[in-house]
Every structure is written in C-alpha cells, then in structure tokens.
Amino acid sequence: MDKKSEKHNKAMQKQKERVSATMAKATQDQSVVVLLTGNGKGKTSSAFGMAIRALGYGQQVAIIQFIKGVQKSGEELFFLEHLKDVPLYQMGTGFTWDTQDRDGDMAAAKITWDHAKNALSNPKYDLVILDELTYMLSYQYLDEQSVVDVIIARPSHQNVVITGRGGGSRLREIADTVSEIKEIKHAYNQGIMAKKGIDF
Amino acid sequence: MDKKSEKHNKAMQKQKERVSATMAKATQDQSVVVLLTGNGKGKTSSAFGMAIRALGYGQQVAIIQFIKGVQKSGEELFFLEHLKDVPLYQMGTGFTWDTQDRDGDMAAAKITWDHAKNALSNPKYDLVILDELTYMLSYQYLDEQSVVDVIIARPSHQNVVITGRGGGSRLREIADTVSEIKEIKHAYNQGIMAKKGIDF
C-alpha cells in the first residue's frame, strides 16, 4: 500500500470512530421538527425530497404550502400525476406581493392553517410539510404562539418540516434541526431566467 | 382599510417592483449548474426535490450518487417503486470511512464517474444530479479539472445539480447558483437518532 493510501485509510478509521461515537450517543428515538431557513435556493426542494424519502418507506405524508405562485409548479404536477393520494393543499392566492391585499391574504392564511392543524392532529401522518410557513408569522397573518402550540402538541411519532426565510426565535427553539441555506450566488442575479425543473 | 393593511400593501407593492425589476433583467435562457454545499442538512434531499420538479414537467433526469451507505435509502426505494425508468446509479461501496480502502474506493469512483460522463454527454437528459460528488474531489479520487471540463462541455440545455460539503473553488466558479447549507443545530447532536424519511 502506498503512503497516500495508508494516510487516507488511517484518516478514515478516525472518522469512523467519530461517526460511531456520535451514533452511540444518539439513542433517543423521537420525532423531529426540521426548519429550513435562509435566503438561498433549496428550501422547498429539500422539503419535497424528504417527502419522497418518507414515501419510499411507505410513510403517510401531508403537504401544506402557504405562499405559492398561481402557476402550477413542477413538484405539484409530479404529485398530481404520480401521487394523487398524498394531500397537497396550497393557499393558492399567489405571491403576497402580487395580491397586495393583506386582508384577503390573511383570510386565506387562516384557512390554510386549518388544513395544517388537521394534519398536525392526525396520527395517520408520519410527516407534515409546512412549506413557506415562516412568512405567515413574519407578516403576522398567523399568531406565532398558536402555531408553535399546535406543532408541539402533534402526535408523538410525527415529523414536521418547515420552510421559509426567517422563522422567528420560537420556531427555532422548538426545531430539533435547523439548516440555514445561504445564497452564495444565484443565476438569477447574473441575468439568467428562472428554470423549469430547477427554480419552480 | 386599516393602517396596518395599508402599510403592508404599500410594502408589497414595493416588493413587487423589486421582483419585476429583477425578472426584467433576467432574460438569458440558458442551462445552469447548481452547487449545494455546506455542513447542514438538506443537500441530497434538495437535489431529489429538483429531480421531482423536473420530472413533473416531463423532463429526463439522470441521478448519480457518489457516496452512499450500503442500506437502501428512502429516495432510492421511492425511485425503484415509482420511477423505474429514471437511471439512478450509485457507487454503492458504502461510506468511505467504513471501507477504509482508498484504492478500492478510487476504482469505484472512476467507474461511477464514467456513468456521470455518459449522462453529461447525452442530450437526452435535461437534468443530471451528481450527489456527493464534492468528496471525490476533496479525496482526490477524481481529477478536478477533468470533472469541470466534462461539466462545461455538456449539452447546452442540460442543467446539473451537484451536492456535498466543500466543493473546491473551480466548482464554485463554474456553478451559476451556489447555496451553502449551514448547520445551526442538528437533532443528532442532541442525542436523537437519525430518522427514516428525514435523514435517510
């Protein structure tokens, strides 16, 4: 074995020990709340990737989308074609900067939250995705404390994935895993149009 | 209309102007390379979310996974059940810290890269996902310049999504969109076991 391989194998042995030590400590089998936040690309797509992951194991998934354009997205088209049985509820009013109608948006947010509450109290669901929920809190369309209370009181085996910029300190507190997706660069800012299958 | 609504609607009008201005500038219709990097959770799941998005529009997708455990993941099970026609090639040697075999890993990496090269030269594919490619570069299993050259020379309409920590300056340079996913916290570090449908 050459020196490079020997050095690599030793480094990997150390990494294995680190991984094993972390695994040995992670013994609590409990559901989690995952918050995907930050200004970078990848929050909604990651939530849908987790939906696919859960569905792969035969888990039951419910998806509630709070802010969405009026046009159908690629993921929505996919679910309509392949996964008709998976409930996918969308607020469907369009982006709030397009509607410019706070009262109308707020009413729509409350109806959408009712759908989320139903999923979050139904033990049938193993995973509930609350896509772009954070904006409902930052715009004060929904009351933060009520939202947090419902998430905490969910069935004990149910995982929750929340996406959206910001998110507020209470959501970060109750989340077990928080990833902040930072935009290092975005094609959009270099004059490249948003792409089907990538951006929407 | 009350004051809060009036203020909100004005703010949204300004935001609409900003969004419209960016959209007006983003007029180049060209394919993109997206790099999802950083130490936080969400890179692979986001890549699979984009696969779903692209498939929703009837696009052709090829997925090549460079580092994976020996166990089948939820996303793999999903693809085997619902999307048998989508090529999903995995290196399949297990994590490199488990094999501790640099020469064997390197040979497997080269075979896997051959599959990637085939996809990256085939105009049939609209989206090619290179999951965890970055480790192949940081371990020097693959030559960075050769990898970059093949990506640059791909069919002009083909989008590419690359995941993995690190990534190196050359990959960052040629990527049009780069998101760095930062771990703010992870359930794992609080003693909570990795979860099916969330972590794998």
- The structure's pTM equals 0.90
Cβ contacts of B59 on chain A, cutoff 8 Å:
196-197
**Average pLDDT across chain A, whole number:** 92
Closest-CA distance, A198 to chain B, in angstroms, reads 6
* Crossing angle for the helix pair A43-56 and A74-82, to the nearest 10 degrees: 20
For A102-140, what is each residue's pLDDT tens digit? 888 899 999 999 999 999 999 999 999 999 999 999 999
Query: How high is the pLDDT of residue B95?
Result: 62
**Beta bridge partner(s), residue A131:** A65
For B34-74, what is each residue's pLDDT tens digit? 999 999 999 999 999 999 999 999 999 999 999 866 788 99
For B101-114, what is each residue's pLDDT tens digit? 888 889 999 999 99
Cβ contacts of B108 on chain A, cutoff 8 Å:
none
Instruction: Name, of A4-8, A31-35, A69-73, B9-13, the range with top average pLDDT.
Output: A31-35
Closest-CA distance, A11 to chain B, in angstroms, reads 8
For A137-160, what is each residue's pLDDT tens digit? 999 999 999 999 999 999 999 999
Interface with B, mutate which of A32, A85, A101, A127 (most B CBs under 10 A): A32
Sign of the C-alpha dihedral computed for residues B89, B90, B92 and B96 taken in this order: positive
Q: Are A13 and A7 in contact (CB under 8 A)?
A: no
CA distance A166 to A174: 14
Closest-CA distance, B142 to chain A, in angstroms, reads 14
CATH superfamily of the domain spanning A31-190: P-loop containing nucleotide triphosphate hydrolases (3.40.50.300)
Given a cut of 90, whether residue B79 has pLDDT beyond it is yes
Q: Decide if A78 and B32 are in contact by the 8 Å CB cutoff.
A: no
> Number of CB pairs < 8 Å for A and B?
289
CB-nearest to B46 from A45, A159, A190 is A45
CB count in 10 Å sphere of residue A178: 24
